[in-house]
Structure 1
Amino acid sequence: MPLRDAARLACVSHKFWRSWRCYPKLDLRQETLGLNGDLISEVDNILKNHSGVGLKELIIELSSCDKVDSCYISSWLRIAVTAGIEELSLFLPHIPEEEENYFPCSSLLNGSEKSIRYLDIGISAFRPTAGLGHWRSLTRLYLSSVRVADDELEGLLYSCDALEHFGSPELP
Structure 2
Amino acid sequence: MKNLVIGLGNPGPRYVYTKHNVGFLALDRYEDIKKNNNDIKKVSGKNFESYIIENNVFVKPMTYMNLSGEILPFVFKKFGYVEDNILVIYDDIWLNFGEIRIRKNGSDGGHNGLKSIISILGTTEFPRIRIGINKGYRHGSGELAKYVLSPFTQEEINSLFKILDVVCEAIDYILNGKIEEAMNRFNGKNIVD
| Bigger proportion of residues as helix | 2
* TM-score, length-scaled by structure 1: 0.30
User: Which structure exhibits the higher relative contact order, with contacts defined as CA atoms closer than 8 Å and separated by 6 or more residues?
Assistant: 2
- Give the TM-score normalised by structure 2: 0.27
More strand by share: 2
